[in-house]
Structure 1
Amino acid sequence: MAGAGINNNKEQEPLPDIPAPVLNDPRAAPDRDQVVSALKTLEPTRDISTMAKSPCAKESFIDGAALGVGVGLLKAMRSGVGRSAANWGFGAFLVMTIGTWEYCHFKIRQKRQIMASGQMPVVSTIDVDAARRREAIAARQRDV
C-alpha cells in the first residue's frame, strides 16, 4: 500500500492509492493560430473607451484607487522604500478594483435572476421619481 497513507484502523477497508501528479501534461498545448486569432480580436481603444460606459466601472476604479493610495502611503511610511510601496499600492488597487467589479456584477446577475423569476416587479427609477413628484404636488394642493 505504498502512497496510500497511514490507516490505523484495521477493521475498515484500506485507503485508496493516490496517483502522483502528472508533471508532463499529455494534453496538447493550444494551437498558436488560435492564440494569435484571439489576440487579433482585441481592440484596446474601443475596449478602453467602452469600459467607462459599463456598469460598476466608476465605483470599482474609485474604490481601487483609494485603497491603492492608502496602502501605498502606509507602506511608504512604514518601510520608507518607494518601489516596494508602489508595488503594494498597485497590487491593492488591482485586487480592490477586480473584487468590487466582480461583486457589483454578481449583484446585477442576482437582480436579473429575481426579475426573470417574477418575484420582483420591474420598476423604472423614472416611474418612481414621477410618482414622488405627483405625491408632493397632491400634498401641496391639499395644504392650500
Structure 2
Amino acid sequence: MAGVNNNHGKEPLPEIPVPILNDPRPAPDRDQVVSAFKTLEPTRDFSSMRKSPCAKESFVDGIAVGFGVGLLKTMKSGFGKSAANWGFGAFVLMTIGTWEYCHYKIHQRRQLMATGQMPVVSTVDLDAAKRREAIAARQKDV
C-alpha cells in the first residue's frame, strides 16, 4: 500500500507506482471528449433514428420483453419500484442486444457481398428486370 512504512524509524521505502489498468490505449484527452459531446444534437439524432434499418425491430422487441418481465415481476412480488426497474432494465438490455445483433447481420451480409460469396441484389434492379420482362412480353404480342 502506498504511504505505509513498516521500517519503524529506518530509511523510508521508495514508492513504486502501480498501474491500475493495463490499457495500451492512451486516455482520451478532455478536449476530445468535450468536442464529441458538442457534436450531439438530440433533436436531429432522435428524429433520424427511425430511418435506421434496425430501429423498429429493436424497439418493438425491447418493449415486448420489458413489458413481459415487468408484468412477471409484478405478479410475483407486487407492483412497486422493483418491478418497474426490472421491466426497464429488460427493455434496455433487449433493445441494445437486438440492435447489435441486427447490425452484426448487416455487417456479415456486406462482407459476403464484398467477397463475392453473396450476389448483390437491389429491389431497384428487381423492379427494372420486371419492367423489361413486361415490355418484352408486350412487344411479342404486337
TM-score (norm 1): 0.68
Count of paired positions: 115
Within 2, Cα distance between the matches of 1:113 and 1:29? 32
Alpha-carbon RMSD: 2.7
Within 2, Cα distance between the matches of 1:110 and 1:26? 32
The equivalent of 2:53 in structure 1 is 55
What displacement does 1:99 show?
A: 0.5
In the TM superposition, what whole-angstrom CA distance separates every residue of 1:34-69 from its partner, at most 9, and x where no partner exists?
Answer: 322221111111110111101110000000000000
Equivalent residue for 1:45, pick from 37, 43, 46: 43
- Give 5+ residue unaligned stretches, structure 2: 1-17, 138-142
The equivalent of 1:118 in structure 2 is 116
In the TM superposition, what whole-angstrom CA distance separates every residue of 1:93-134 from its partner, at most 9, and x where no partner exists?
Answer: 011000010000000011101101111211123444676796
The equivalent of 1:69 in structure 2 is 67
The equivalent of 2:105 in structure 1 is 107
Within 1, Cα distance between the matches of 2:54 and 2:20? 41
**What SS does the corresponding residue of 1:52 show, helix, strand or coil?**
helix
Equivalent residue for 2:76, pick from 72, 75, 78: 78
What displacement does 1:23 show?
A: 6.2
The equivalent of 1:34 in structure 2 is 32
Within 2, Cα distance between the matches of 1:94 and 1:53? 20
Within 1, Cα distance between the matches of 2:22 and 2:105? 40
Q: How many percent of aligned residue pairs carry the same amino acid?
A: 74
Residues 83, 113 of structure 1: CA spacing in aligned structure 2 closer, same or farther, 3 A cutoff?
same
TM-score (norm 2): 0.69
